[in-house]
Each structure stands twice: as structure tokens, then as C-alpha cells.
Amino acid sequence: MLPHVAEPGEMIAPTRTALVVVDIQVDFASSEGVIGRHGVDMSPAEAAIDRIEDLIAAARSAGATVAFMRVMTRPETDSNALKTWMERRGTPGGAGICRIGSGGEDYYRVTPEPGDIEVSKLAYSSFHGTDLANQLRTRGIDTLVMTGLTTDCCVDSTTRDAFHHDFHTFVVSDACASLDPGLHEATLNALHLHTSLLVTTEAVVTAWDGAKA
């Protein structure tokens, strides 16, 4: 059983907290995207997005910042390390995901609104090569509530980098997902051990609803 924090309460006060939505995009989440077209079961992603939608609504209602992360690539932006790794593992050309202009880079079921943070990135971590940390600090944010896809890759990398940038991190265990449920749970346990507190969607929504009272 995962070690959840039942009542995060003031630890995620809306005035200093951002809900971070990582890579909810067609290629990562939709059956019509690059991953889904290979026959992968996308139901774990869909279930996580159901809860992310609830969290976005709760964040907006409570006055918390909502921050959307999105992979945006072109062939010329693929790093040598990435291409070489793909070749060595026997999947040359496998880096072609979330290509600009393909439609795969589009948001899936979520839509930013004016005043939200939006970050385009090339790497797993939303902090690598971006101004995310500065945007958060400019708004007085020191706490991040993490959601998105996938738990073991971009959510994990972004959460660890957030910790390294001195942000307090909470990972919503039922509002992120992996293609492999075992990787999902193992990653959550590792983040709990090293960087983060684990919470549920219900606990976060309850905390933010209480903050409006």
C-alpha cells in the first residue's frame, strides 16, 4: 500500500502552490497518438486524466496556479544522446514523438486558460532548458502538486528536478499513470522515499475546497 498523506491542508495552500500537469498530449494519452496506435492500452492514462480534470477545476476555484508542461520536438532538436540510445537499444528513429505540426503534440482533454503557466520542453524534466523555476518563483510559488504522464518518466524527472530547485513536491498518485502499472507504483514509492509526499485527488480537492471557506 502506498503511504499517502491523508490531509495535506495548509501544506498545499493555493496562494503558494501550483498544480503541474505534465505532458497530457495526444501522443502520450490518446488511442490516436503514437503510443496508442501501437495497440497500447491507454485506459490508465484516461483514468488519470479524469482526475486531473477534477484537480484543474479545484485549483482554478481555489486560486491555485495551474501549470501545463508539453513536449514539442522537431527532428533537429533530438539530442545525440537520445538518438544514440535509441539506436543502441534497437529502436532507431523512435524519438519521433510530439512532433510540432503532427497533431501529436496537441493537448489532450485539457486546455490552458489565460493566466496559466505553459512550458514547452525537449527533455523529460520540465525544468531542463526552460524558465519554469523563474515563472514559479515570480508568482511566489514554493510548492508543486504533480500530475501527468508518465509516472516513471517525465513526472518522475520533473518532480526530482523540482526538489533539486528547492520546491516542496506532492505527487497525486491517482492522477498520474504509466504504461506499466508496476513501474507506476515503484516510481511513486521511490519518490516518496527520496523527494515527495504522496496524496490522492480526493485529499487535494478537499484541501482546496476548504481553503475557499
Question: Which domains occur in the chain, in start order?
Answer: 9-211 (3.40.50.850)
According to DSSP, residue 124 is labeled S
Residue 65: its H or E element: strand 65-71
Look up 83 and say whether it is catalytic. Answer: no
> End-to-end alpha-carbon separation of the chain, Å?
32
- Average the pLDDT over each of 5-19, 22-36, 90-104, 157-171 and give the range with the smallest value: 90-104
Q: State yes or no: pLDDT of 90 exceeds 90.
A: no
Query: Phi/psi of residue 119, each to 5°?
Result: -130, 125
- Average the pLDDT over each of 7-11, 87-91, 155-159, 184-188 and give the range with the smallest value: 87-91
Confidence band, pLDDT 50/70/90 cuts, at residue 93: low
Catalytic residue (one of 23, 27, 152, 174): 23
Q: State yes or no: pLDDT of 95 exceeds 90.
A: no
Name the grid cell of 14: 493555493
Look up 154 and say whether it is catalytic. Answer: yes
Look up 152 and say whether it is catalytic. Answer: no
Confirm if 17 and 88 have CB atoms less than 8 A apart.
Answer: no
Catalytic residue (one of 27, 121, 152, 174): 121
Across the range 157-178, mean pLDDT stands at 98
Catalytic residue (one of 27, 98, 153, 154): 154
